[in-house]
Amino acid sequence: MTPRTALIAEDEPLLAAHLRAELAQIWPELSVVAMAANGVQARDRALELRPDVCFLDIRMPGLTGLEVARALAEDWPDDPGAPFPLLVFVTAYDQHAVKAFELQAVDYLLKPLGLARLQSCCQRLQEQLSRRDATHHPGAGDLLAVARQLQALLAIPGAPQPLGVRPRLEFITAQTGLTVEMVPVEDVVYFEAADKYVRVLTADREHLIRMSLRELITQIDERCFWQIHRSILVQTRCISRAVRDEQGKLSVILRQRSETLPVSRVYAHLFKGI
């Protein structure tokens, strides 16, 4: 039998330990290769270890479980030897929201965790892994389907958002030394996340602001700025065209700047027909 591996991402140590202990009892052949206490750790360890199954808590520091899953769908290699992991979301949602999860090709566990529910989840995972082995490893087409499913999950009413909606920004306040510049949002070509900062790029200038991209998203007009990658927001009128390379990956060509911007799988649907 093929060895199976799993990652558990849960910021509450007692719940994480409980889940690991229950899995050891129900599915002793499953090896838990990593425990992550936040979303960033979960993303990085999953990309490094490529487990068969990821148990992702919905609400975690850094990145939510859905954001981790979306990041994995974006960055997972197009490698037949590295099938995309099966996803199990651990959630405290009410039954209405859980129904939305049931419509997707993922599983869920409702807190507090019940042994019977975990047993049925593990049985389903084992069946899916067996079918995956029998039909060979999934490829890029399957990753695109996963990305679309995750995008649908992110649109669930009441899905966790890291920050509340704020009034729309008209100007970006950027400080350089003792000078504070007021950059009109309409002049911004694109925003790009850079560690704890966001790069603000106009046609001929670049600024750094101390704000996360997630916070910025809640304050700008989504009709004017498209998120094309988890780290990039681009002003739609500044997009000249989108092109696909020989590997099928999309990039955006800008009108006012020379660089090209990558388009991740999750957002490829914005450029249908290409």
Distances from the Cα of 44 to the Cα of 119, 152, 175, angstroms = 28, 23, 32
Give residue 99's pLDDT: 59
**Helices 140-154, 65-75: inter-axial angle, 10-degree rounding:** 160
Per-residue pLDDT 10s for the chain (274 aa) are 678 999 999 999 999 999 999 999 999 999 999 999 999 999 999 999 999 999 999 889 988 888 888 888 888 887 767 788 999 989 886 665 565 566 555 688 888 888 999 999 999 999 989 988 887 655 444 556 666 666 666 555 444 444 444 568 899 999 878 888 999 999 999 999 987 899 999 999 999 999 888 889 889 998 899 999 989 999 999 999 999 998 888 999 999 999 999 998 888 888 876 5
- Residue 198 is inside which H or E element, if any? strand 197-202
pLDDT at residue number 44: 96
Query: Given this model, what pLDDT does residue 254 score?
Result: 97
CA dist 16 and 99 (Å) reads 24
3-state helix, strand, coil in the chain (%, to 5): 35, 30, 35
Total Cβ atoms within 10 A of residue 212:
15
What CATH fold (topology level) applies to the domain 4-154? Answer: Rossmann fold (3.40.50)
What are the start-end ranges of the H helices in the chain? 13-26, 39-49, 65-75, 95-102, 115-134, 140-154, 213-217
Q: Which residue has the tokens 């007009």?
A: 221
- Identify whether the C-beta of residue 131 lies closer than 8 Å to the C-beta of residue 182: no
Domain limits, the chain: 4-154, 171-271
Report the greatest alpha carbon distance in the chain: 65
Give every strand in the sheet of 30-36, ordered side by side: 30-36, 4-9, 53-57, 86-91, 107-110
pLDDT of amino acid 144: 60
Looking only at the bridges linking them, the beta strands covering 188-194 and 232-235 are antiparallel
The model's pTM? 0.72
**Cα dist. 102→105, 177, 247 in Å?**
7, 52, 33
Q: Helix or strand or coil: residue 151?
A: helix
Q: Which class is 171-271 in CATH?
A: mainly beta
CB 139 within 8 A of CB 78: yes
Looking at residue 206, its amino acid is E
